[in-house]
Amino acid sequence: MPHAVASDEVRLYFEEAGSGTPIIFLHEFAADYTNWEPQMRYFSRSHRCIAYSARGYTPSDVPVSADVYTYRHFYTDALAVLDHLRIEKAHFVGLSMGAYSSLQIGLNAPQRALSMTLAGVGSGSELENLENWRKQCRANAEQFETLGSVEVAKATREVPSRIPFLVNDPRGHADFYAALARHDARGSANTMRGFQGGRPSIYTMTDAIGKVPTPALIICGDEDDPCLGPSLFLKQHLPAAGLTVFPKSGHVLNLEEPALFNETVERFITLADAGRWPVRDPRSLPAS
């Protein structure tokens, strides 16, 4: 089985398909590398596509200590996969947790990113509710440890931002949560406690975000309420950002609306490669 090795010797399972300009896909908390299959099949017709499971998600390694599940570990792991494959630059396509990591690449290693697609980004960022969010993450981690992944999958399958997936595609929704039930409970608990509950709010990074020139596409479902505000914030502060909102959609955008997701991302990547996704023209800004 192919694995890249992170700086702390954690092995990261990956799969790749196709040839051409590289695209690397970064999954969300409740997913793993397999959830990018509709994109791997579509984009590998014209690009070199890489999908990998984050640390804590088999068949990648599941470290015991929660101390090695910080947001820094996650975004540098993506770079470790590219280094293993001798890829200097790639298009980063991330959903939720993966979108946050993609944004961190733009902030900390912009020379590695041809572009970044930030889908379902920013939940838990509201500063006025940040401590409650972190408290809930710690409670969720304890649920994984005490109940296991099967019971947590049952309990979370109908959270509000996942209902559009259930309504639009019941079979896909069922498959998604069957996969979540097979996740390693310790890895999920450590990810919830370390990454989800420990990452800085995007609202605390305004100045740094304003200096990122990387072409960015922000995608949000109009029924993914926790991500609407952060998506608009990023549109307003990332210099080369575009924002699209999928109607009647929730959080799992690449699986809820795979055709629309693929079409939207393909257009963005094509324009970015052609140098046709510039920073915002100052003349379009509202008068101060």
Provide the pLDDT for residue 288.
67
Nearest-CA neighbor of 94 among 125, 118, 120, 70? Answer: 118
Determine, yes or no, domain membership for 247. Answer: yes
Q: Residue 20 is part of which domain span?
A: 3-126+202-279
Provide the pLDDT for residue 286.
84
Looking up tokens 């590219």, which residue turns up?
82
The per-residue pLDDT for range 9-18, each reduced to its tens digit, is: 999 999 999 9
Determine, yes or no, domain membership for 171. Answer: no
Number of domains in the chain: 1
| Residue 141 pLDDT level (bands cut at 50, 70, 90) | very high
Provide the pLDDT for residue 42.
98
Determine, yes or no, domain membership for 107. Answer: yes
Q: Indicate the pTM of the whole model.
A: 0.97
The per-residue pLDDT for range 17-51, each reduced to its tens digit, is: 999 999 999 999 999 999 999 999 999 999 999 99
The per-residue pLDDT for range 218-276, each reduced to its tens digit, is: 999 999 999 999 999 999 999 999 999 999 999 999 999 999 999 999 999 999 999 99
Percent of the chain with pLDDT over 70: 100
Provide the pLDDT for residue 165.
97
Percent of the chain with pLDDT over 90: 97
The per-residue pLDDT for range 206-215, each reduced to its tens digit, is: 999 999 999 9
Determine, yes or no, domain membership for 216. Answer: yes
Q: Hey, which residues does 220 pair with through a beta bridge? A: 245
* Residue 70 predicted with pLDDT over 80: yes
| Residue 58 pLDDT level (bands cut at 50, 70, 90) | very high
Determine, yes or no, domain membership for 38. Answer: yes
Determine, yes or no, domain membership for 193. Answer: no
Determine, yes or no, domain membership for 149. Answer: no
Which CATH number fits the domain that encloses residue 221?
3.40.50.1820
Provide the pLDDT for residue 57.
98
* Residue 65 predicted with pLDDT over 70: yes
Determine, yes or no, domain membership for 151. Answer: no
Provide the pLDDT for residue 275.
97
- Cβ atoms of 102 and 92 within 8 Å: the answer is yes
